[in-house]
Amino acid sequence: MVSVARAQQKALGFATSLCALALIARLTLKPLGGPLPSGFHWCVFCGSFGAADFLLNIALFVPLGWGLRMAGLRRWPIYLFGFLLAGTIETLQDFVISGRESGLNDIIANPLGGIAGVWLADHMRLVFTPDPRNSRRLALGAAGAWLGLAILMPWSMGPSLPRTQYWEQVAADLPKFGRYTGQILSATYNGQPFRNGRLSDSASAAMRDAFRQGRARVDITTIPAPNEGSRLAPIVGVFDGHRQEIFMIACAGQDLIFGVRTHLDNLKFHSPAHRLHGAIPCDSTSAPGDTIRIAATVDRVGLLLAAQRAGKTASARPDAGAWQGWRLLISDNYGKQARYGPYLTALWTMLWLLPLGYWLGRSSGRWFGLGVSGVTLIVSLAIIPMGVGSRPAPPHVWIAGAIGLLLGFIWTKTRLSLDWMPS
């Protein structure tokens, strides 16, 4: 029986390794067009989203390390293979594959992912078949991590403006963006006309103070038209001399977007922009529409975006909860991910809470499991967001969280053979 289990686990390890290699090749070796990189980047957290890229590069190699270890390979050959594979990929990206960037970030992060995968394979019993005492500890750790994320998200999504000099721009023609071709009848910031040009040092400082104190407001009256390039197009925005976005109001498709520089930008994670769906017609299929009045506000509660058209007003505040955590790693501001946002949010919530349900199911005490599950859901999805002035999680997040906990509990009723352990 033991030999059968070992053969099954080795087969699973080989299959996982092959799938992981295929995924790595697909995500790192596909040409993206354009010239070869100008050189190797020797910084660890390069670019605006260096921390997010670093974590994603670690996660990319975890299945490979886990699969090779489960297949029976020893630790050090796996570590060496991960390092050589990362170095080979970076070399190809630097000299052969167009449109890619190579750097020290990947060479460090990828092997770390392989090491993490090996550790996970070596501790399968601790993770998947813990005794009731360790199950309770793991469950409390998982609940604490989720609640910690719920506490950090509202702060991390708060405005954080650099102490630099700012430039106001109206319907700017910027690289990698579309161009807004609608007619802007008026645009004001805190009652003062918006203009193209540099702000004085005192005006830049006053803008920083207004955002920090929660008393910033932008009002726009516009007649929309299809964007040039059919991409996200800035209507008005403020940038600094380092080309950092301070805030921007833009449109993409049928959506109105309000983005503000936050603490996440300082930490080099993606900073989610606030979208008001169906508020402004500016895609390639739209005809010039009615006059729209836009109001984007930063108050003591957070961001508020409103649009009035044909006597109807739509407004909403962005969610700032643990269920939005995936947006720190994957940008949904300018790409197709925006339309899949609710599904990714539900999947993120379910995958976070599934291990909690599993470990609660393995711990002794039914009431303990029910209590921790209920408290974790209510506190993270309602009490913490409402305590900072945001709104509770939408219904699909509650459903996804409950499904994750339930699936984890059901998993404890299945038989998972872990007789063979790598040595």
Output phi, psi for 93, to 5 deg.
Answer: -65, -30
pLDDT for residue 229:
59
Pairing of strands 245-252, 255-260: antiparallel
- 170 and 312 belong to one structural domain: yes
- 263 and 329 belong to one structural domain: no
- 198 and 307 belong to one structural domain: yes
Q: What is the pTM of this model?
A: 0.86
- 217 and 311 belong to one structural domain: yes
Longest dimension (CA), the chain: 78
**Single-letter amino acid, residue 222:** T
Q: Tell which residue, 409, 401, 212, has the closest CA to residue 322.
A: 401
CA-CA distance, 13 to 340, in Å (whole number)?
A: 31
Pairing of strands 255-260, 183-189: unpaired
- 308 and 239 belong to one structural domain: yes
Of 261, 290, 317, at which residue does a domain stop? Answer: 317
Output phi, psi for 114, to 5 deg.
Answer: -65, -40
DSSP 326: G
CA-CA distance, 243 to 176, in Å (whole number)?
A: 13
Judge contact between 238 and 298, C-beta under 8 A. no
* Both structure tokens of 17: 């390794």
- 188 and 301 belong to one structural domain: yes
**Which secondary-structure segment (H or E) carries 341?**
helix 341-362
Q: Tell which residue, 317, 337, 315, has the closest CA to residue 392.
A: 317
CA-CA distance, 36 to 153, in Å (whole number)?
A: 37
Judge contact between 390 and 319, C-beta under 8 A. yes
Counts of helices then strands in the chain (DSSP H, E) = 12, 12
- 311 and 326 belong to one structural domain: no
If one counts every other C-beta atom within 10 angstroms of the C-beta of residue 42, the result is 9
> How many domains does one find in the chain?
3
Q: Tell which residue, 161, 169, 306, has the closest CA to residue 234.
A: 169
- 231 and 305 belong to one structural domain: yes
* Both structure tokens of 295: 């109001």
CA-CA distance, 288 to 187, in Å (whole number)?
A: 19
Of 291, 317, 343, at which residue does a domain stop? Answer: 317
- For residue 282, give the 3-state DSSP assignment: coil
The residue range of the domain holding 370 is 130-157+321-423
- For residue 40, give the 3-state DSSP assignment: coil
Matching residue, tokens 């992981």: 20
Judge contact between 112 and 85, C-beta under 8 A. no
CA-CA distance, 83 to 262, in Å (whole number)?
A: 35
- 180 and 118 belong to one structural domain: no
Of 317, 348, 377, at which residue does a domain stop? Answer: 317
- 298 and 255 belong to one structural domain: yes
Output phi, psi for 129, to 5 deg.
Answer: -130, 50
What is the full per-residue pLDDT of the chain (423 aa) written as tens digits?
Answer: 456 557 778 888 899 999 999 999 999 888 877 666 667 778 888 878 889 999 999 999 999 999 999 998 999 999 999 999 999 998 888 888 877 777 888 899 999 999 999 999 999 888 888 889 999 999 999 999 999 999 999 899 889 999 999 999 998 888 778 888 889 999 999 999 988 899 999 999 999 999 999 899 999 999 988 876 557 889 999 999 888 899 999 988 888 999 999 999 999 998 888 888 888 888 766 556 688 999 999 988 788 899 998 788 888 888 889 999 998 998 765 544 556 788 889 999 999 999 999 999 988 777 888 899 999 999 999 999 988 878 899 999 999 999 999 999 998 887 654 444 554
pLDDT for residue 335:
46
- 89 and 47 belong to one structural domain: yes
CA-CA distance, 152 to 379, in Å (whole number)?
A: 14
pLDDT for residue 339:
65
% helix, strand, coil for the chain, step of 5 = 50, 20, 35
- 271 and 189 belong to one structural domain: yes
